Chains A and B, each alone.
Chain A
Amino acid sequence: GAVVSQHPSWVICKSGTSVKIECRSLDFQATTMFWYRQFPKQSLMLMATSNEGSKATYEQGVEKDKFLINHASLTLSTLTVTSAHPEDSSFYICSAQQGGGANVLTFGAGSRLTVL
């Protein structure tokens, strides 16, 4: 079946540094990828929708200059948390939607970010 790989699965960084998280569709082309964030004991919240070759669409309240999303190819989207702070510590999950009219989402296993 379809597989989405997310890397790294966990990362610890110092406050003020930037962190990049990759989301790859391994055996299918993903025209659209989604990025979610989950704080402890809270819901998964959609952060942004990225379409290959175009700018990401951010949900209300998500800072686009802080959470840079790049979807340069049909199999790779990246989320960069710039100048990370402790309040950015969270669980980040991506999902990929197959193209060709298929209405199926495949999720990555998530990336745990801890900012010290």
Chain B
Amino acid sequence: GNSVTQMEGPVTLSEEAFLTINCTYTATGYPSLFWYVQYPGEGLQLLLKATKADDKGSNKGFEATYRKETTSFHLEKGSVQVSDSAVYFCALSPYGGATNKLIFGTGTLLAVQP
């Protein structure tokens, strides 16, 4: 079946450190992959997405590359800020782009310290 596995948190970093949050997936067919972010007290927001192999999604300094050979979609940022503290969810859509049937990972809490 379809599933998403992401690293357990919390991840605690100092400001300006490099961030990697690992995400791997299992899917049949050709899923689309997403990263969502949830800031305290707010709803999940789409951070970035990739719809086919080798695509790179990017937004707000975050990047993730759709790696079909390793079934991964790791989230990276070169220099984190305190304002990046949030919960990050990796997700896939098994319907090739439709966002309605999203399958989520467990979420990873990122805490950035000044």
Contact = CB atoms under 8 A, between A and B. Distances in A.
A78 interface: no
Interface string B80-97: 000000000100000001
B106 A42 contact: yes
B114 interface: no
Interface stretch (A61-69, A81-89, A97-105): A97-105
Interface in A27-53: 32, 34, 36, 38, 41-46, 49
A106 interface: yes
B69 interface: no
Contacts of B46: 104-105
B97 A46 contact: no
B89 A44 contact: yes
Nearest to A103: B99
Interface residues of A, number: 25
B98 A103 contact: yes
Contacts of A6: 43
A43 B23 CA distance: 13
A38 B60 CA distance: 27
Interface of B: 4, 8, 36, 38, 41-46, 89, 97-107
Given A43-B4, A107-B45, A109-B42, 10 more contacts: A43-B104, A43-B106, A93-B44, A95-B44, A97-B99, A104-B46, A105-B99, A107-B38, A107-B43, A108-B43
Interface of A: 4, 6, 9, 32, 34, 36, 38, 41-46, 49, 93, 95, 97, 103-110
